[in-house]
């Protein structure tokens, strides 16, 4: 796997790419491809979140679990799908909460590239998945890598907003310095999740925090 990643992130994560666990991830993915397995997202998009939101631009982190496993859905940004693909149920609920929270209308396109370009780092804890097999790459080592990513953001930056939705994302809270950053927790936006996502008001809380610390708020409507 040729790691195509933004130069800023490449510098931040340079040591991770040299570690044995990462070499094992690469070997595993090569083996899957040799065996004819279909992997999402396509190779050039595995690090799309990193390419679209350089390290210096990260203001918000929205953590997902693993990529969509349906054809044409995953493109390397958590909760997002490519232009022209219908918004999945979790994303529809995210849009509904934004509209209720901010009293604005949200575009109904499923792509969140516009958020990513504003500094919303859309990170999945696991960066690949086998077609039609959710969480199939959950144990190959990606969590070690993305834990290092979260720690790097926490340690090297200040005043980042982390949105942790659902128990899986909330389990990453220990990696984040709560004295330097804002951690927002809620239930997962999936219609199948238990607990309250609606009414969490994370989007207004996020923008208030960014403004308090001299950052431009996110335009969640686009």
| Residues that are catalytic | 66
Here the contacts of 212-216 (C-beta below 8 Å, separation 24 or greater) are: 213/158, 213/159, 215/59, 215/159, 216/118
Contact (CB, 8 A) for 16 and 22? yes
Contact (CB, 8 A) for 217 and 207? yes
**Eight-state DSSP code of residue 30:** H
Give the length of the chain. 222
Place of tokens 């997902």: 64
> CA 31, 78, 186, 55 torsion: positive or negative?
positive
User: How far is it, in rounded angstroms, from Cα 49 to Cα 46?
Assistant: 8
Q: Which residues contact 187 (CB under 8 A, 6 or more apart)?
A: 165, 166, 193, 194, 195, 196, 197, 200
Contact (CB, 8 A) for 97 and 107? no
> CA 154, 20, 42, 143 torsion: positive or negative?
negative
């Amino acid at each position: 796997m040729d790691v195509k990643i933004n130069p800023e992130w490449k510098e931040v994560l340079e040591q991770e790419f040299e570690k044995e666990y990462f070499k094992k991830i690469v070997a595993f993915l090569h083996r899957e491809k040799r065996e004819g397995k279909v992997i999402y997202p396509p190779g050039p998009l595995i690090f799309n979140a990193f390419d679209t939101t350089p390290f210096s631009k990260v203001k918000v982190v929205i953590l997902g679990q693993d990529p969509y496993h349906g054809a044409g859905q995953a493109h390397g940004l958590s909760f997002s799908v490519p232009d022209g693909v219908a918004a999945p149920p979790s994303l529809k609920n995210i849009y509904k909460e934004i509209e209720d929270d901010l009293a604005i209308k949200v575009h109904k396109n499923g792509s969140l590239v516009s958020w990513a370009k504003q500094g919303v780092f859309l990170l999945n804890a696991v960066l690949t998945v086998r077609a039609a097999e959710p969480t199939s790459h959950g144990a190959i080592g990606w969590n070690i890598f993305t834990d290092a990513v979260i720690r790097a953001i926490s340690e090297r930056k200040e005043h980042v907003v982390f949105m942790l939705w659902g128990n899986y994302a909330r389990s990453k809270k220990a990696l984040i310095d709560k004295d330097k950053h804002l951690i927002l927790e809620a239930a997962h936006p999936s219609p199948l999740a238990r607990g309250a996502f609606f009414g969490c008001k994370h989007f207004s809380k996020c923008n208030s925090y960014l403004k308090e610390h001299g950052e431009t708020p996110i335009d969640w409507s686009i």
